[in-house]
């Protein structure tokens, strides 16, 4: 009896989508550098044909990454339906990467590049029954955010690029896609613990935010000012205060409960953000300690200091 030919399947399929101006094309280029076969701006209805064409190709050992613009999808429902079709056919395991940024940052980017938001350009007058001629840039951003809400809810990875430069963006993607490849403990779950400065804004993709501005500030100690929370003198300074130990202990108590619950009932990515005023001393130290506490239990844990060097 002849052997049945194994169904062709792509190892990893990544859909990059999200807000216009948030960095979809830059993300695709980074993934291409990582070894993914990259396809830009593909209509969703062509996804099954793409998989059949590329499956089992030697060049696709890492996987395939595709950007999909909501304008080509027509609606969030059409995009999600196409992804469901691919998964149901067993062609690939789909991972959605959703790019976002604050309204203020998106406005700044449009003003800097002198580009018009795609929802108010002449060639998309009828998308989702919007009257594009009456929209301002912020109207277009808000309309797009509302339309993409179902995709955001379905996303596996959400990246807020508001305060990321290209190097930081690349670093986040590297952590998300390659730090967890061979994980056994943690079941491939992605636990990101980051530090940030409130003066630069709270990361929009964070799930839990810890505010450590209540702790003594090493910035006001002259010999510590130019150091960071990764340096031992700053950590020793903070640890001499009982409130630091209490804060860390109670944070650990909450997270001991919340992390397993979140992974079991929500989804496989959890972002815990720790903030202080400037994101250089207290938040960095606390984020490092939390990472050290959970990195052994959750092999997919990573730490990222967004504002440490600003």
Tell me how far apart the alpha carbons of residues 170 and 288 are, in angstroms, rounded to a whole number. 21
Q: Does residue 299 fall inside a structural domain?
A: yes
| CA-wise closest residue to 201 among 302, 303, 100 | 100
| Domain that includes residue 78, residue range | 10-178
* Residues 28 and 159 grouped into a single domain: yes
pLDDT band of 248, cuts 50, 70, 90: very high
- Digit-coded pLDDT (tens) for 161-187: 888 877 777 777 877 776 554 444 444
Q: What angle do CA 306, 239, 225 make, to 5 degrees?
A: 50
* Residues 158 and 214 grouped into a single domain: no
* Residues 103 and 249 grouped into a single domain: no
Statement: residue 247 has pLDDT above 50: yes
Q: Does residue 4 fall inside a structural domain?
A: no
- Digit-coded pLDDT (tens) for 45-75: 787 777 777 765 644 556 888 888 877 666 7
CB atoms within 10 A of CB 120: 19
Contacts of 9 (CB under 8 A, 6+ apart): 55, 56, 90, 91, 92
275 within 8 A of 195, measured Cβ to Cβ: yes
Q: Does residue 211 fall inside a structural domain?
A: yes
Per the prediction, the chain carries an average pLDDT of 81
* Residues 202 and 297 grouped into a single domain: yes
Of 121, 152, 178, the one marking the end of a domain is 178
Tell me how far apart the alpha carbons of residues 235 and 221 are, in angstroms, rounded to a whole number. 13
* Residues 252 and 285 grouped into a single domain: yes
Instruction: Look at the chain and report how many structural domains it folds into.
Output: 2
CATH number for the domain including 37?
3.40.50.300
* Residues 242 and 133 grouped into a single domain: no
Task: Read off the pLDDT of each residue in 259-263 and give the average, rounded to a whole number.
Answer: 81
Of 178, 210, 240, the one marking the end of a domain is 178
Of 114, 144, 178, the one marking the end of a domain is 178
Instruction: Output 266 or 52, whichever has higher pLDDT.
Output: 52
* Residues 14 and 154 grouped into a single domain: yes
Tell me how far apart the alpha carbons of residues 234 and 285 are, in angstroms, rounded to a whole number. 8
72-to-17, 32, 41, 92, 141 alpha-carbon distances in Å? 11, 22, 8, 21, 17
Q: Does residue 142 fall inside a structural domain?
A: yes
């Amino acid at each position: 009896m002849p052997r049945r030919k194994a169904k062709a399947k792509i190892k990893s399929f990544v859909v990059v989508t999200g807000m216009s101006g948030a960095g979809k094309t830059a993300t695709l280029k980074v993934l291409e550098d990582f070894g993914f076969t990259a396809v830009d701006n593909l209509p969703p209805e062509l996804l099954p044909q793409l998989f059949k064409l590329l499956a089992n190709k030697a060049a696709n050992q890492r996987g395939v990454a595709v950007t999909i613009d909501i304008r080509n999808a027509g609606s969030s429902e059409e995009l999600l339906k196409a992804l469901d079709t691919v998964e149901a056919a067993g062609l690939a395991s789909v991972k959605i990467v959703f790019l976002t940024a604050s309204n203020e940052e998106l406005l700044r980017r449009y003003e800097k590049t002198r580009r018009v938001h795609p929802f108010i350009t002449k060639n998309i007058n009828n998308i989702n029954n919007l009257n594009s001629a009456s929209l301002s840039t912020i109207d277009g951003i808000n309309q797009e955010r509302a339309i993409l809400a179902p995709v955001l809810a379905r996303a596996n990875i959400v990246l807020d690029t508001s305060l990321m430069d290209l190097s930081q963006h690349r670093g986040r993607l590297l952590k998300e896609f390659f730090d967890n490849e061979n994980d056994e403990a943690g079941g491939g779950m992605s636990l990101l613990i980051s530090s940030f400065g409130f003066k630069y804004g709270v990361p929009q993709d964070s799930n839990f935010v810890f505010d450590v501005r209540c702790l003594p500030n090493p910035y006001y100690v002259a010999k510590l000012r130019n150091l960071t929370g990764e340096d031992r003198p700053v950590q020793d300074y903070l640890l001499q205060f009982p409130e630091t130990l209490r804060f860390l202990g109670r944070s650990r108590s909450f997270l001991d409960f919340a992390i397993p619950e979140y992974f079991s009932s929500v989804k496989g990515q959890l972002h815990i953000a720790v903030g202080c005023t400037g994101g250089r001393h207290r938040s960095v130290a606390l984020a490092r300690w939390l990472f050290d506490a959970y990195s052994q239990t959750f092999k997919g844990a990573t730490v990222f200091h967004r504002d440490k060097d600003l």
